[in-house]
Structure 1
Amino acid sequence: MKELQINEEIREKEVRLVDDKGGQIGLVDIDRALDMAFEKKLDLVNVAPSAKPPVCRIMDYGKYRYELIKKEKEAKKKQRVINVKELRLTPNIESHDLNTKANRAIDFLKSGDRVKVVVRFRGREMGHTDIGKEVLEEFVNLISEYGAVDKKPKMEGRNMVMFLSAKEQN
């Protein structure tokens, strides 16, 4: 949270003043603005320092900061950290092993994580990347109820990589 200039910290000669109820007062000398804030037992806060002239508002700064912090905490609570889980396959994977990996991917997708599926090619398998693509297509068919392809399969060195993300549940 950025700190705003309050009361005597404001160094401008003239400011555009907004009262505590939100009404525009207009261009006011800084001393008069400080007096008005002091009379109401509130603070003069520079809410738009980059404006010409700067915009100042009469408000209870402590209460304002408290509400901002409260809003930030509330926004943080609603955030969801998305992790990327990785599953490694081989081009000649057996169907039972593929089903097991698919179930694992479904668990990851249900918990809201993204899944990175990697088919690793070794030696002569590099000549048959089409088999790896077929494995990935079969994998997508197994998890299609829970997830969708985010990034299509593509070769990165000796690996074919694909990303999956969870489908929106209604």
Structure 2
Amino acid sequence: MEFKCRHLTEFLVQGHKVKATIIFIGRMMVHQDIGRKLMDEILEKLTVVGKIEQPPKMEGRYLTVMLIPDKKKIDDYKKSLEKAKTDTVKSETAKTDTVNA
């Protein structure tokens, strides 16, 4: 799931709409609540850079949701990534300085 969410996040950051689908096979239809929990986890991770265009709904055996990119959230996300990158670079240089001293 992490792999899929990471790719969906990249698509949203690039400005594309995203449709997430969970397919229920066989006896999974009896346990739709598990699929809903999984969809909630996906939405929690993706609402960092997007917003829900169409809420989750069942279409036969498919549970789908549509997300669109949110410019403000994307800008905040990019800034947090840059900050995290500079923090790791600073901590790595501090470690090498203490080792060399």
Q: Same fold (TM over 0.5)?
A: yes
User: Any conservation in 2 of the 1:99–1:142 contact (CA below 8 Å)?
Assistant: no
Equivalenced residue count is 73
CA deviation profile, 1:54-102 (whole Å, cap 9, x unmatched): xxxxxxxxxxxxxxxxxxxxxxxxxxxxxxxxxxxxxxxxxxxx11111
Alignment-derived partner of residue 108 in structure 1 = 11
In 2, Cα distance between equivalents of 1:127 and 1:162: 20
Structure in which a larger fraction of residues adopt helix: 2
In 2, Cα distance between equivalents of 1:114 and 1:106: 10
Q: Which of 12, 23, 26 is matched with 1:123 structurally?
A: 26
User: Any conservation in 2 of the 1:118–1:161 contact (CA below 8 Å)?
Assistant: yes
In 2, Cα distance between equivalents of 1:141 and 1:116: 15
In 1, Cα distance between equivalents of 2:53 and 2:36: 15
Alignment-derived partner of residue 159 in structure 1 = 62
Query: What percent of counterpart residues are identical?
Result: 32
**TM-score, with structure 1 as normaliser:** 0.41
Unaligned 5+ residue runs, structure 2? 76-101
**1:168 to partner: Cα distance:** 2.1
Alignment-derived partner of residue 138 in structure 1 = 41
The structure with the largest alpha-carbon Rg is 1
Compute the RMSD of aligned alpha carbons. Answer: 1.1
For 1:103, the aligned partner's letter is R
- Name segments (4+ residues, structure 1) moved above 4 Å: none
**1:103 to partner: Cα distance:** 0.6
In 1, Cα distance between equivalents of 2:48 and 2:25: 31
Which has the bigger relative contact order, CA under 8 A and spacing at least 6?
2
Structure in which a larger fraction of residues adopt strand: 1
Equivalent position SS for 1:149? strand
**TM-score, with structure 2 as normaliser:** 0.68
**1:132 to partner: Cα distance:** 0.9
